[in-house]
Structure 1
Amino acid sequence: MVSKRYTNEFKAEAVKQVTERGYPVAEVAQRLGVSSHSLYAWLRESGVSQQARSAQQEADLLKENQRLRAELRRVEEERDILKNGRRVLCQGVRAKYAFMLAHQREFRVAVMCRVLKVQRSGFYAWQAQPQSARAIEDARLLVRIEESYLASGGVYGSRNVHRDLREAGESVGKHRVARLMRAHGLRSVRSPQRYRYRAGKPSAVAPNKLQRQFTVPEPDQAWVTDITYLRTAEGWLYLAVVLDLYSRAVIGWSMKSTLARALALDALLMAIWRRRPKTSVMIHSDQGVQYGSDDWQRFCREHGLEISMSRRGNCWDNSVAESFFSSLKKERIRGKIYRTRDEARSDVFDYIEVFYNRQRRHGHLGGVAPMTFEAAASKQSV
């Protein structure tokens, strides 16, 4: 039955093709290979009303209007600060602080600090008590230190910042630079320490049974799976896919906001529901924690799947999945940052189910789409 063949995630994205993208039901049904009756049933189940969508659009428009008004006020305020404070832009910190004190009632302190590139804490400290000669010099050095630190993107620590200052002609000790950076919370951005694995180490869970044999003569003999991530304004969206090596078709996918094991399992479950393999299928993956979990191994055993894993640190062992992710990011994403995870889900769904599987010409298949290749092969076999 339909309810057993398609996941809720698939249904939701199929409904969006009609409700959000405006495609006719018949066209969407034909593209996705489902019946119009099923798609109408999914639309009824979704409970989406035109009135609710219109209300949401109006709310979004009002919110965007408010954001633009606030942005305009901010830009106008920064323009006026630059206009009135142009004489102190190239002067020292104390001159900028004096300007800020004289214009406190006219402009916000936080905005003046941002435009004049000074620290708000330094301004308040300057107001509280007169600075000593050393404090004045520290404030001057701090400006140079921040310039070096920000220019590096927050990567430089005190040692490299000290080198920049010495090359710029500043006579300052490395310990003084370290003290100023520590006092103002300027720390180098470092990645967490990770255990370094030696490339080529076999998996302890399962051997590499695929051995880069990426061309198979029949469908549902060998599948490959992998996980990638997409950037959105709400945070990362993780995508897991399952591809059939026979046609390079994406037969299973799942998108979630976390890297939980359910991400990989849901993609594999969709592939099983869609293909319903009658014989054992090899499922090949890398050595990610999702694929080495007990849940993954138990699920594969229960569904007659033979586990194969790449050698650690060797991306070529799973290059078909890596190639798909590369095509997705080059052809559809191209470095864009989606506003919401839902927006990213809809775009990726459209790429996989509408474009990649049914329209995109694949060089490995002689220039035809994966589903077209499978259909033609099925007719020949009959």
Structure 2
Amino acid sequence: MKTRRKFDAAFKLEVVRMVRDQQLSVPEVSRTMGIGETAIRRWVHQYEDEINGGSGTGLPLTAEQQRIRELEAEVSRLRSDNDLLKKAFRLLCPRIEVKYRLIQQWAERATPVAQACRVLEVSRAGYYQYRQRPSRPIAEARAGAALRAQFEASGRSYGSRRLQRALRQLGHAMGRYRVRRLMREAGLKPIWRHKFVHTTDSKHDFPVAENLLNRQFQVDQPNRVWVADLTYIRTRQGWLYLAAVMDLYSRKIVGWSTAASMPTALVRSALQIALQQRQPPQGLLLHSDQGSQYASGAYQDLLREHGIQCSMSRKGNCWDNAVMERFFLNLKMERVWQRDYANRAEAQRDIAHYIVGFYNSRRLHSSLGYLSPVDYELQNFTQPPIGVSAIT
């Protein structure tokens, strides 16, 4: 018998913020959170009704608040117009050779090549290679266009292995060496940088749990083993800290939270989101490091309340939580280090887009047979994951 899941007000507010503040689409949020689109739209409508005076205080807006709303509407309109022009150009000019020919025409009219390449979002190296190489067959041009489209869809993060798999799923069968050559000719190269900031404070007097996970990262059932960790995001406004929870079965991020500091409330919030979304059974194993946030009494009380077993890495041993560390590295290589966030709000929106719109729903994982976490769960479980009731 199907049962209806119940969500508290805090969880509903987090989902509404994904749609309103982080500008995620309702279908994206529905797919990654496992919640019906109708329910999400109802929550958004209720929230908008309340802030517009439907069930709120009804106080009139101040002049400053009115100006802020007008500016937000103008920015949203300009962003929408810009996206429309980009989409129209891609529909009219699906092949990169068209962009190269347009750059060549502009150059003949004294437009700097660097400026033209920047406007059309192509590399100068790729343009000059195009000028030097002879014309290729139509099939080769189509393969190059499809490859670049997948590279852009990945946030310019895919290497040759994942691009080959992504193209194969679209019906473009080609070897890895050909993919490498096409990437080289088009000037497509993921840019990865490495930075480090210490975020784990293990110098505390809280009790430390035993390492029950013991690096057993392959799990054959959902909602049996979760891992959690903290990381940092640099913005011009200051550090933004991200706490995340992952289901090892599908490598899906099932809960996350951000804040300007690292209090225990941050990791509790991420876990509470995960619990609301997945509703795991008693006996779930949750692994983390020995940080003071995870060893604190408030966090441990939440684990006991939900019948969760606690597991912790050995002191100073990041390999005991390697899968979660890898997620944070992917997040930074594929998104964060390619951005320059003006403030924490901008970083929050971009991270939400990465998790919901790319990592959970579209990113190909080699450990999952080159499927995304959402597709892996759908293909391997016809019923909702263990501990999650069907939505009615």
TM-score bin, normalised by smaller chain: 0.5 to 0.7
Give the corresponding residue for 1:34: 35
Cα contact 1:9–1:254 (8 A) shared by 2? no
Cα contact 2:286–2:311 (8 A) shared by 1? yes
Q: Do residues 284 (structure 1) and 287 (structure 2) align?
A: yes
Q: Do residues 10 (structure 1) and 24 (structure 2) align?
A: no
Cα contact 1:15–1:39 (8 A) shared by 2? no
Give the corresponding residue for 2:253: 250
Deviates more, 1:213-222 or 1:35-44: 35-44
Distance, in Å, in 1 between the alignment partners of 2:16 and 2:201 is 41
Distance, in Å, in 2 between the alignment partners of 1:278 and 1:32 is 18
Greater RCO (CA < 8 Å, at least 6 residues apart)? 2
Deviation at 1:266, TM superposition (A): 0.8
Deviation per residue, 1:353-373 (Å, 9 max, x gap): 121111111111000001111
Cα contact 2:34–2:277 (8 A) shared by 1? no
Deviation at 1:257, TM superposition (A): 1.1
SS at match of 2:316: coil
Cα contact 1:7–1:270 (8 A) shared by 2? no
Cα contact 2:247–2:254 (8 A) shared by 1? yes
Alignment CA distance shift 1:31-1:269 (3 Å): closer
Deviation at 1:7, TM superposition (A): 4.8
Alignment CA distance shift 1:43-1:58 (3 Å): closer
Letter in 2 for 1:11: V
Distance, in Å, in 2 between the alignment partners of 1:58 and 1:245 is 41
Cα contact 2:201–2:290 (8 A) shared by 1? no
Give the corresponding residue for 1:272: 275
Deviation at 1:340, TM superposition (A): 1.6
Deviation at 1:232, TM superposition (A): 1.3
Cα contact 1:252–1:270 (8 A) shared by 2? yes
Cα contact 2:263–2:293 (8 A) shared by 1? yes
Give the corresponding residue for 2:225: 222
Cα contact 1:224–1:284 (8 A) shared by 2? yes
Q: Do residues 306 (structure 1) and 321 (structure 2) align?
A: no
Q: How does 1:100-179 map to 2 (within 5 A)?
A: none
Distance, in Å, in 2 between the alignment partners of 1:255 and 1:196 is 21
Deviation per residue, 1:39-71 (Å, 9 max, x gap): 32233344378x87761248989xxxxxxxxxx
Alignment CA distance shift 1:341-1:42 (3 Å): farther
Gapped regions of structure 2 (runs ≥ 5): 53-65, 77-196, 386-392
Q: How does 1:184-263 map to 2 (within 5 A)?
A: 204-263=207-266
Deviation at 1:327, TM superposition (A): 0.5
Cα contact 1:238–1:258 (8 A) shared by 2? yes
Distance, in Å, in 2 between the alignment partners of 1:28 and 1:314 is 34
Rg (Cα) greater in structure:
1
Give the corresponding residue for 1:296: 299
Deviates more, 1:247-256 or 1:329-338: 329-338
Cα contact 1:26–1:36 (8 A) shared by 2? yes
Alignment CA distance shift 1:257-1:218 (3 Å): same
Deviation at 1:381, TM superposition (A): 10
Distance, in Å, in 1 between the alignment partners of 2:29 and 2:37 is 8
Alignment CA distance shift 1:205-1:358 (3 Å): same
2:359 equivalent among 342, 352, 356: 356
TM-score, normalising length: structure 2: 0.55
Distance, in Å, in 1 between the alignment partners of 2:245 and 2:202 is 28
Alignment CA distance shift 1:247-1:240 (3 Å): same
Distance, in Å, in 1 between the alignment partners of 2:254 and 2:349 is 17
Deviation at 1:271, TM superposition (A): 1.2
Alignment CA distance shift 1:381-1:7 (3 Å): closer
CA RMSD of aligned residues (A): 3.3
SS at match of 2:230: strand
Q: Do residues 44 (structure 1) and 56 (structure 2) align?
A: no
Give the corresponding residue for 1:55: 70
Cα contact 1:242–1:251 (8 A) shared by 2? yes
Alignment CA distance shift 1:211-1:43 (3 Å): same
Residue correspondences, number = 242
Cα contact 1:32–1:354 (8 A) shared by 2? no
Alignment CA distance shift 1:295-1:343 (3 Å): same
SS at match of 2:293: coil
- How high is the sequence identity, in percent, across the aligned residues? 39
Cα contact 1:15–1:42 (8 A) shared by 2? no
Distance, in Å, in 1 between the alignment partners of 2:31 and 2:231 is 29
